[in-house]
Amino acid sequence: MPETLPVENRKSIAPAEVLSAFRQTITNRQTLGYALCCGGVWGAMFAFVFTSQQMFTDIFKLGHYFPLAFAGVAVGVAIAGFVNSRLVGRLGMRVMSHAALLAFALVSVILLIAVKLHMLPLPLFMALSMLMMFSFGLMMANFTALAMEPHGHIAGTASSLYGSITTLLGIGVGALIGQSYDGTLLPFATGFFICALVALAIAAVTEKGRLFRPHHTTVN
């Protein structure tokens, strides 16, 4: 397809230009903060994906019904997309994503406590997993938008670097948690809790302790 960007606004792909765009991206507080925050959330989600089959088949004995259970959990993301499209224009990206991050952290606390007390039947695990996916769906689109907000002039390069950072962090953390699987839910629940706590702390630092700012406020 032909390039639609006006010639005067196109960026060169010369190494110096690309490196300059990379520097602008990683030195921006808002962009780097939300990249790290998103990476932490992705870590928990990758851990869930990496260990979901073992959790559903080995622990909850679902056998061939595992795909149905996994699909049921994933419904939370679809619902989140619909809810976000309806509310983000009214409430703003920060309110939506920060509320979702708090919910994500709360779910991790409940899950860890339930696992520690050996009080986690399948229905409760399914409900918590759906809430985790729902929170994840609300966070990802808004975190990405917040991270890219200061970089309209280098959006393509910035989004590529942002995607690389978040994905690599998520895979690394998720693989670490996944490799810790010991036949119980404790490694996942612990890893999920740590990821959520770290992501919440990073978001608070990024916003200088003031979560739920109006959507038009940029962190410098």
Percent of the chain with pLDDT over 90: 69
Residue 202 and residue 35 in contact, taking contact as beta carbons nearer than 8 Å: no
* pTM (whole model) above 0.85: yes
- Reported as a pLDDT band with limits 50, 70 and 90, residue 58 is very high
pLDDT of residue 189 exceeding 90: yes
Write 172-177 long-range contacts (CB < 8 A, 24+): 172/43, 173/39, 173/40, 173/42, 173/43, 173/44, 173/46, 173/47, 174/42, 174/43, 174/44, 174/45, 174/46, 174/47, 174/49, 174/50, 175/46, 175/50, 177/43, 177/44, 177/46, 177/47, 177/50, 177/51
155, pLDDT greater than 80: no
**pLDDT for residue 148 is more than 90:** no
pLDDT at 160: 87
Q: What's the fold here for domain 28-206?
A: Growth Hormone; Chain: A; (1.20.1250)
More confident residue, 4 or 133: 133
Averaged pLDDT score across all residues of the chain = 89
Give the per-residue pLDDT at 5.
61
- Cβ burial, residue 84 (10 Å; 0-12/13-18/19+): buried
Q: With 70 as the cut, is the pLDDT of residue 51 above it? A: yes
